[in-house]
Structure 1
Amino acid sequence: MDIREEAVQKKRELQGFLTVASKYELKDAHDLSVAYTPGVAEPCLRIKDNEAESFELTCRGNMVAVVSDGTRVLGLGDIGAAAAMPVMEGKSLLFKRFGNVDCVPLVIDTKDPEVLINTVKLLQKNYAGINLEDISSPKCYEIENRLKAELEIPVFHDDQHGTAIACLAGVKAALRLVKKDLETAKIVVNGAGAAGANIARLLYLAGARNITVLVSSGVLHKDYKRLDSLQAELIEMLDLESKSGDLAENAKGADILLGVSAPGVFTKEIMESMNKDAIVFAMCNPTPEATYDEMKAAGVRVAGTGRSDAPNQINNVAVFPGVFRGAFDVRASQITDEMKLASADAIAALISDEELAEDNVMPSVFDERVAPAVAKAVADEAVRAGIAQKVK
């Protein structure tokens, strides 16, 4: 059976993948009194006196909401809030499986950023963190920035940061294998949407200095018709105004080619023109810029995609469960750039020098070490930065 049909059949059979389960068994009248009236009054009063108790006395302390307006769902585009629900439900499943984080899918039926922001603000007392998902750019930047500033709990737009962290981890491990330096490597990022722009930004924060960002018309410049605030920041940061040319021209002699763009755009000729021991991550989903086999046939030393059916999966599943697990463990008030860099280092470090290979620069998402390593990195950085409200 085709995997898409199987997904429909299984969801119809189970009526979705999520349910509500109780941690406390109601066996008799005493249990009912503890769970509800009269016992429930005491935790209410304690939270009234100290709101922070809500993280310890209710499910809130381990609960994230995955929030979307359905305007940029996977590769499907603007399909609406209801149609985004299967993705949010699936993401909730991943939070629980890989990070033991409880998650509620929350789709908001609006395209107005102000309405979405105000809705999340009104609901924040239910959650310990907010994961934004599948929101179109450029409004995704405004929404995240506003919520980070106005909420008391961490906010993380996974489409921006999760893929960037995973990509940086893979790049760092791959560079160890080919014995090149991040600072001097020639890096080309094809695609300047939320994921591509943040990949370039995080690479720069990690120390990379020779980065070129491309859009369909060529190097990202100030005259780009859909220029947003982050892209404008990158133009200055990376001195992109001094660069020119299309993908084929910029890929010549490149050490690293990263794709978050369109299917099939990494041709054999483009990849063959790269530097020796080239690294190519084609992360467009579900159909990458080049398949794993195509990249290897073109002589690419280290190849990766966002797919789970080929080696070196560069995917945010390796990131977000651990990020929120670590933030919740110490009740961090925000998720910082330093946490993102520490997360990437933690993932890359899971592959030892002895284990490094062309087909092994990224640990599997099913590697049980991944989420705990990311969680520890995030929690340690929160404590170091003084934004942890609870020390384990």
Structure 2
Amino acid sequence: MSNSFLDKVFDLHRGGKIILASKYPVRTNEELAMVYTPGVAQVVKAIQQDKQKAKDYTIIGHTVGMFTDGTAILGLGNVGPVAGMPVMEGKAMIYQEFAGLNAYPLLLGTTDVDAIVETIKNLAPSFSLIHLEDIAAPNCFAILERLEQLLDIPVFHDDQYGTALIVLAGLMNSLKVLKKEVADMNIVINGAGAAGIAIAKVLNEYGLTNITLCDSKGIVSLTRSDLNIYKKEILNLIGIERPLGTLSDALDQADIFIGVSVGGALNPTMIQNMNNQPIIFALANPVPEILPTELKDFDGIIATGRSDFPNQINNAVGYPGFVKAVLSSGIKKIGIHHIIKAATAIAETITEQELTRDYIIPNVFNANVVPNIVKSLAK
């Protein structure tokens, strides 16, 4: 990035990127009496008698509470909650711009699971949906599970659901372009944290069941003694025992590589050992597992998380519309079947005539994406 571009970035962030604004002006005593006392008392009484009316007469019905402890910010790792605020503000802007939803970014000054769950539970009445953001594994799994049990509103973890949603949509179209069958695919997922495990769950449910999961120590196998309960659970769900080995071993004869790990984890030699026309989703940010420019005479499809290459796998394409669809349809608990329906809607936003190796996922500015997702989850 050039110095001039960075100067613009910092200027844009000065003072923060979002504000709380009023919908109506307050310029007369009558207007003041309507928005505040005495008029507001009648609205209070109406909501007291029927709490569902809060969705019609307050901001709650179209408001998301976003929470982070700053332990897994982008590819930067544990930077703390305050340093994570620029990301949270950006997410809030995307919610408003593409889905017309209000999203409050809230920073958690603790990484203790019990304290986080209790805090969010006590603040939940202010919102119609809870959005968990950039909370590191394995804490994110426990927090999501407990909140789903405790709350009567949906809980969405973008690093799990949002990533799996857009990855599946991209894979659907990649398989169409290359004319490959779902049942034949041998998939390697590198990265066994929040995103990797969620992707594995969603792909397995969709029918892409031949999955090998890798982490920083190589193939995730039940023969290892260092696995947490969430890695054991996903291996039992996949139901295929893998021998110990390296990422390179796992990629031999593989068809699909999905990287949610670290930059530079993949090299051209590894890809040469994959099957013909491989699908490479190198999604580490800001440096992907392999750059498209490193691949010579490549006959497959490659996608990254970056906007300066074709096929950007960007959660922002999916989560605004998905959350809007969840709220519109009254869903109380998000399930994998919801993810699959929404991924199908995203994929089908691009017609088969438009699909190419360099165009497998719609642009975030495609005006059809959000309404298509909303329609896919409508009752």
What are the superposed Cα offsets for residues 120-152 of structure 1, whole Å, 9 maximum, x if unpaired?
Answer: 111111111110001111010010011111111
Q: Distance in 1 between matches of 2:331 and 2:239?
A: 34
Would you say the 8 A contact 2:304–2:311 is kept in 1? yes
Q: Which residue of structure 1 lines up, in the alignment, with residue 326 of structure 2?
A: 327
Displacement, 1:7?
2.3
Q: Which residue of structure 2 lines up, in the alignment, with residue 341 of structure 1?
A: 340
Larger CA deviation: 243-252 vs 34-43 = 243-252
Larger CA deviation: 22-31 vs 125-134 = 22-31
What are the superposed Cα offsets for residues 328-384 of structure 1, whole Å, 9 maximum, x if unpaired?
Answer: 223322222111111111111112111110101111111111122122223x2xx3x
The letter of the residue matching 1:121 is K
- Cα gap change, 1:223 to 1:6, in 2 (>3 Å): farther
Q: Give the fraction of aligned pairs with identical amino acids, expressed as a percent.
A: 36
Q: Which residue of structure 1 lines up, in the alignment, with residue 10 of structure 2?
A: 8
Q: Which residue of structure 2 lines up, in the alignment, with residue 170 of structure 1?
A: 170
Would you say the 8 A contact 1:272–1:298 is kept in 2? no
Secondary structure at 2:83 match in 1: helix
Q: Which residue of structure 1 lines up, in the alignment, with residue 77 of structure 2?
A: 77
Residue ranges of structure 2 left out of the alignment (5+ in a row): none
Q: Distance in 2 between matches of 1:372 and 1:90?
A: 22
Q: Which residue of structure 2 lines up, in the alignment, with residue 122 of structure 1?
A: 122
Q: Distance in 2 between matches of 1:80 and 1:90?
A: 17
Secondary structure at 1:242 match in 2: coil
Number of aligned residue pairs:
377
Q: Distance in 2 between matches of 1:226 and 1:314?
A: 31
Q: Which residue of structure 2 lines up, in the alignment, with residue 230 of structure 1?
A: 230
Would you say the 8 A contact 2:212–2:242 is kept in 1? no
Larger CA deviation: 155-164 vs 297-306 = 297-306
Displacement, 1:247?
1.6
Q: Which residue of structure 2 lines up, in the alignment, with residue 354 of structure 1?
A: 353
Q: Distance in 2 between matches of 1:165 and 1:363?
A: 13
Q: Which residue of structure 2 lines up, in the alignment, with residue 254 of structure 1?
A: 254
Residue ranges of structure 1 left out of the alignment (5+ in a row): 384-392
Q: Distance in 2 between matches of 1:298 and 1:249?
A: 23
Q: Which residue of structure 1 lines up, in the alignment, with residue 365 of structure 2?
A: 366
Q: Distance in 1 between matches of 2:200 and 2:305?
A: 17
- Cα gap change, 1:298 to 1:135, in 2 (>3 Å): farther
Q: Which runs of 4+ in 1 moved over 6 A?
A: none
TM-score by length of 1: 0.93
Secondary structure at 1:119 match in 2: helix
Aligned runs of 1:83-98 on 2, under 5 Å?
83-98=83-98
Secondary structure at 1:202 match in 2: helix
Would you say the 8 A contact 1:173–1:361 is kept in 2? yes
Q: Which residue of structure 1 lines up, in the alignment, with residue 376 of structure 2?
A: 377
Displacement, 1:298?
5.2
Aligned runs of 1:253-292 on 2, under 5 Å?
253-292=253-292
Q: Which residue of structure 2 lines up, in the alignment, with residue 42 of structure 1?
A: 42
Q: Which residue of structure 2 lines up, in the alignment, with residue 390 of structure 1?
A: none
Larger CA deviation: 209-218 vs 189-198 = 209-218
Q: Distance in 1 between matches of 2:192 and 2:175?
A: 23
Displacement, 1:224?
4.5
